[in-house]
Amino acid sequence: MKAKIGTIVICMLLITVVLPLSATAGSEENPEIEDYNDGDVDDVFGTFARIPGLFNFFQLIGVFNIDSYDIADIQSAWYYEDANEPDYLYTALKLKDISLIRQTQIYTVRWTYNEEKYSTSVHAYVLNGEHIYFVGGSSTSKGTREEIEGSFDVENNIVYFAISKHLIGNPQPGDVLTETNAWAALRFSAEPLTVFFGGELMKDWSGYGREYTIQY
């Protein structure tokens, strides 16, 4: 009898210890990636941050209908999975304030798996209503990428991505995603203007966050 009670106590202790460890997958409340700001000061950079007068000028002539850099200011990002959809990895990127405007917005979540760098991104071309979500590895720089599903939650300032695992090296349960980070940017929709004014007009990089372990 004592042996049975001892076994039950040990099992209860194991459950107490193991369950929190198995619940380490990210969420909005427990994200792998956090971008800490200095008080209320936005930490974005780029042409508009270097030359605030340029941003004010474009606002004045009606090119931008935004009041601040908040649309490119990353707050956090996280990874998660669904036991009912084990072939998919999901990522989410929370901004300070999503505002879908005429210019091109780029939101990206990145990581490294099996020594290959991956990124999942959305290019939002609001002028013609296009939102193109895609995922790719290191070869993305050579133009190779696969379109995936995604969505904007404007009310909660979150961008979601649904990634088929076979597109990102087919990670297995227990495999670890490292060098997790996020990146956001604002550009002119007209490429010559973007290039003339120095690439991304405003951008933000989160820095590296915690690793994520594949659950399913």
Q: Note the pLDDT tens digit of each residue in 24-63.
A: 467 888 999 998 765 555 678 888 778 888 888 888 887 7
pLDDT of residue 193: 73
User: Residue 135 forms beta bridges with which residues?
Assistant: 120, 146
Kindly state the DSSP code that residue 185 receives in the 8-state scheme: E
Smallest CA-to-CA distance from 135 within 176, 72, 78, 91 is with: 91
- 127-140 burial: b if 16+ Cβ within 10 Å, else e: eeeeeebbbbbeeb
pLDDT at 128: 62
More confident call, 148 vs 18: 148
Is the pLDDT at 132 greater than 90? The verdict is no
List the one residue out of 187, 190, 182 whose CA is nearest residue 201: 187
SS3 62: coil
Answer yes or no: are the C-beta atoms of 159 and 202 closer than 8 Å: no
Task: Determine which of 2-16, 35-49, 123-137 has the lowest per-residue pLDDT on average.
Answer: 2-16
Cβ atoms of 68 and 42 within 8 Å: the answer is: yes
The token duo for 15 is 């459950």
pLDDT in tens, 162-179: 999 999 999 999 999 999
pTM for the model stands at 0.79
- Planar angle of CA 139, 140, 144, nearest 5 degrees: 85
pLDDT at 60: 83
Mean pLDDT for the chain?
79
